Structure 1
């Protein structure tokens, strides 16, 4: 072989020609600068956000620095903030705020009177079934039981298992009962958490740390549908994960499995599917995601926070659904909220793992603290023992038979409402509802106008975006006699009026949702959300403190 024509020699000769005649300090400077520049370019190109997204943000930030633009944005945000604050004022107009700690403790009677005043604020009849989701069950006898159980356990804390071993026993029993409902074998384990968000956060932590230890993954990524719960985005922000969001099919509203597969790479620590998702109530193809998990040796999490305590009873209730639990060999973990269709008080949820090796990475362990070796199974250190006890009590109260009957009633009501809505002109149903959520859109008019019209009739529904829509989450409250029929009648009568002027734009507060979707600068939308959250803590300071 001609050594001169060898590719490596060509490169060597090229480099030598570049440095020919250069002094040593020049060679060192050029080499160092080239390496630093190369690393900077690589880091710039391969950041979590794409070049396009970063470019947009840069442009928007520059535009917002223009005095007239900045002033206009600040003015609009101030207007939005005042709108939210006015809503708070209207809601609490017949009450006063306590701004200072009472000089002397109030009597029990005074405290209970003030409690009743606060609980009576608000106009929506959630007990009558006019609210989507939020409250999943209401029964005076159950509340009486829960109150007594919580009263006995309100000051207990499972952080001290030596003091309260019974709490640990109750938590273990809840986890085992739930594992059996999702067809887990004797190795399936888990924990009770404060809600779906914590369950999801812990699952993401567990598989991030598992990926680090087992596969030496330093830049962990999770692959999720765009419809997955926003708690995964929150977990990513907390845990430094990169989220690859995969679009859903515009007909089925299930995640695109082919695109899902393409997103898997050597940094993937977790694949996620919803059973069902929150926006549309559709279920991803968990079986297909499970197969991808097995093929690429990546854990799979099934988010059943919303409907888990329906899916595990639906077959026995006469409404079989595709497999979405531990019977699928690729499923590594499942989250299911007991405080939804488990009908336990807020807030409790269960996170399950196929085996202990995953749960071990959920734990937070500190070995060198002067206060001793510290271990915590969940986000919190101290946890309310009362929440564990009432969760346990509620499960025992219903039993399998009670849950099957409740599931049968809820699914029957959901299908009844879905069938009625499909018959109405002017609206359509997103995909095929899998459990208890029915999502509605329109190609004929601004769907948020229907939200406003139903609100005027007393209904409180959930708003969707990208595309615009609304949904109703059917709970046990909606199975009360006449509620489903009232909903269908109110939708029908509202549609008749709306279709008289289909081109009319949406007005009032609902217009804000439409505008928010059209804003390319999502940071402004985030600012609007912050003003709304601020309003939750707003107190009209003109009120005098009660003592």
Structure 2
């Protein structure tokens, strides 16, 4: 595709953009239980106005746009107070949880280089830790040690993490909450371990950090997880989740500035302007920052407490309702509004397809470690109003799923073929062949997806994770492509 010879008129341009969205999930109806966090129309209008006010301001250099420094200091201060920090806590506004986590890992790496002379650093994470830690280790050329969790609670096994510590360990990780199961790792025990071993401890509170303090105030039994816990040295928290800010809005907080300085990057060794970056990005719109500041002040503490009250009530109602549906069971009792449930009697992937046919988007999670394949719900602002409809449809979809044949057919031959594969010897042509065969078997043609995804999910669920990853890279590499013929 090329730049059009003549520019489009305003109406035609926006008609095209609207047409592109025809098959996107209509998330404003509240029936999408992943990926989006709807603040409601009034807050959305506030966010849009603040975002566009600062769309053109460049947050790269606060000496040119000092208002961005005011906004960031305010947002970081709010986050520090919210997470039990004192005046020593220092932080930065980032584009999202992944950037916050990547910077936390970089901080630990550079701190260990300076303080301990470690050149081959390792971080230890529970197997439930977010994939962003794997990504950070990959980007920063570090070793990640993944440790099994308690198979009943899906919380970090502190004894197993202790046993995994070696001479090159620089960082321990815990989640509050873990995305997959909605539970808080034993942060107080991890903090004690970090102090004993003189290690840094990062708490990934990207999805839980904002809402958990409100749930605690409403009487929910929320375990300790923030800077009040001895041993915690950094925390990541997203605002674009349950603070309902515009994407991307996150914050990384450190116990003090001495740690935060390892996060920064400076370069004077070139012929252009001297570079000093607090985050991964250099040039960046101040729109997300201004929108975050605006939504925090729009709702205020009382507004967020009421939103939390509704989501806590929805969580309790939906968790109890799932437990009453024959054939379904919770993987863990959630400590926030993230719910994971599975079945030993029907295919959860069939249930997901049936729910989608009724206008619900619920998220599939493949099996990994001690966690069986399951359905994941991120309960939103409107979940309480929709709970009865959701539970009714869920129960009916389970009944339908019982009558359907196993998705993907007989996968015994696939298991046999996989057992003889040497993943180290699979080159791109062979991976492409496997991908085409798998796509043909599950009904995928080119870049299109079938209406029902159960067979695709079932096949992926039977693949070893390393092969899943390599096939998905091949698929995504083909999905995003340039067209230079003008078509």
TM-score, scaled relative to structure 1: 0.77
Matches within 5 A, 1:214-225: 214-225=115-126
Distance 2:79 2:475 in 1: 36
The answer to whether the 8 A contact 2:210-2:239 is kept is: yes
SS in 1 for 2:309: helix
Aligned to 1:189: 90
Matches within 5 A, 1:215-254: 215-254=116-155
SS in 1 for 2:210: helix
Cα shift at 1:226: 0.5
Aligned to 2:419: none
Q: Tell me, which stretches of 5 or more residues in structure 1 are unaligned?
A: 1-98
- The 3 A distance-change label for structure 1 pair 294 and 451 is same
The answer to whether the 8 A contact 2:346-2:398 is kept is: no
SS in 2 for 1:361: helix
Distance 2:42 2:478 in 1: 35
Distance 1:396 1:497 in 2: 46
Cα shift at 1:535: 5.6
Deviations 1:319-375 (A, max 9, x none): 241111000011101111100001001111011111011110000112333324321
Matches within 5 A, 1:241-280: 241-280=142-181
Alignment of 1:470 onto 2:375: yes
Alignment of 1:516 onto 2:470: no
SS in 1 for 2:211: helix
Alignment of 1:135 onto 2:36: yes
Deviations 1:225-256 (A, max 9, x none): 10111000000001111111111111111121
Deviations 1:173-196 (A, max 9, x none): 100011000010000010010000
Q: Which moved more, 1:530-539 or 1:108-117?
A: 530-539
- The 3 A distance-change label for structure 1 pair 372 and 112 is closer
Cα shift at 1:119: 3.0
Aligned to 1:530: 473
Q: Which moved more, 1:245-254 or 1:453-462?
A: 453-462
The answer to whether the 8 A contact 1:224-1:245 is kept is: yes
Residue of structure 2 aligned with 1:120, choices 18, 22, 26: 22
Matches within 5 A, 1:21-420: 99-122=1-24, 124-420=25-321
SS in 2 for 1:351: strand
Q: C-alpha root-mean-square deviation of aligned residues, in Å?
A: 1.9
SS in 2 for 1:243: strand
The answer to whether the 8 A contact 1:249-1:256 is kept is: yes
Q: Tell me, which stretches of 5 or more residues in structure 2 are unaligned?
A: 410-441, 443-452
Alignment of 1:429 onto 2:330: yes
The answer to whether the 8 A contact 1:426-1:499 is kept is: no
Distance 2:59 2:345 in 1: 55
- The 3 A distance-change label for structure 1 pair 151 and 517 is closer
Aligned length: 441
SS in 2 for 1:438: strand
Distance 2:273 2:2 in 1: 39
Distance 1:532 1:492 in 2: 34
Aligned to 1:68: none
Distance 1:429 1:365 in 2: 48
Cα shift at 1:541: 8.9
Q: Which moved more, 1:504-513 or 1:403-412?
A: 504-513
Distance 1:476 1:304 in 2: 19
The answer to whether the 8 A contact 1:192-1:348 is kept is: yes
Deviations 1:427-481 (A, max 9, x none): 11011101011101111222222122212222212111222111111011323x2
- The 3 A distance-change label for structure 1 pair 310 and 536 is farther
Distance 2:34 2:306 in 1: 19
The answer to whether the 8 A contact 1:127-1:138 is kept is: no
TM-score, scaled relative to structure 2: 0.86
Distance 1:317 1:494 in 2: 33
Deviations 1:375-397 (A, max 9, x none): 11000111111111111111111
Distance 1:235 1:355 in 2: 22
Aligned to 1:490: 393
The answer to whether the 8 A contact 1:274-1:283 is kept is: yes
Cα shift at 1:283: 1.5
Cα shift at 1:117: 2.1
Cα shift at 1:299: 0.8
